[in-house]
Amino acid sequence: MIKYALACDHAHQFEGWFGSSSDYDDQAQRGLLECPVCGARGVHKQIMAPAVAGTKARGDRPADPKLREMMSALGEVRRQVEENFDYVGDRFAKEARDIHEGRSEKREIYGEATPAEVKKLKDDGVPCAPLPPLLPAPDKLN
């Protein structure tokens, strides 16, 4: 696997994982890459330093305390949402719009939406935000 730092034509930055550099080239050439923020298809690689394994063993060095604190806070946000909000699955965009426009009861929801649906919601003034990702186990943090 190879990780690239990517950006869209609107300067949104994100990462993409590919099986190989030729997989990236193939997907880019076929127009399959899309910005997860705005749905733009104009996506390009950014300059990034290669990840090179060092010669010294890392041992059981604990993760940076600030990183652990941040990851813990993100996990808590996700847990609170999953425990207290209504899960609406792939109906998120429709339900968020219905709540915003008063056609559905006001309540907190979460679910899935495509980048294009999220962009349309934001363009129309419907509040929404991405849910923090599922976090790796603490022993998997580097």
With both helix axes pointing from N to C terminus, report the angle between 92-100 and 115-123 in degrees, rounded to the nearest 10.
10
Q: Are 98 and 109 in contact (CB under 8 A)?
A: no
Please give the radius of gyration of the chain, using alpha carbons only, rounded to the nearest integer.
19
For the stretch 63-106, pLDDT in tens is 678 877 888 888 889 889 999 999 999 999 999 999 999 999 99
Q: What kind and span of H or E run contains 44? A: strand 43-45
CA dihedral angle for residue 97, residue 103, residue 104, residue 108, rounded to 10 degrees: 40
* Pairing label, strands 109-110, 13-18: unpaired
Looking at the domain assignment, is residue 55 inside a domain?
Answer: no
Same structural domain, 12 and 78: no
Could you tell me the pLDDT band of residue 111, with boundaries at 50, 70 and 90? very high
Task: Give per-residue pLDDT as tens, 48-73.
Answer: 766 665 555 555 555 678 877 888 88
Domain that holds residue 82: 65-140
* Residues 34 and 98 occupy one common structural domain: no
**Count of domains forming the chain:** 2
Model confidence at 140, in pLDDT bands (50, 70, 90)? low
How many C-beta atoms lie closer than 10 Å to residue 40's C-beta?
19
Phi, psi of 123 (to 5 degrees): -60, -35
**pTM score of the predicted model:** 0.52
Question: Is residue 10 domain-resident?
Answer: yes
Give residue 121's pLDDT: 95
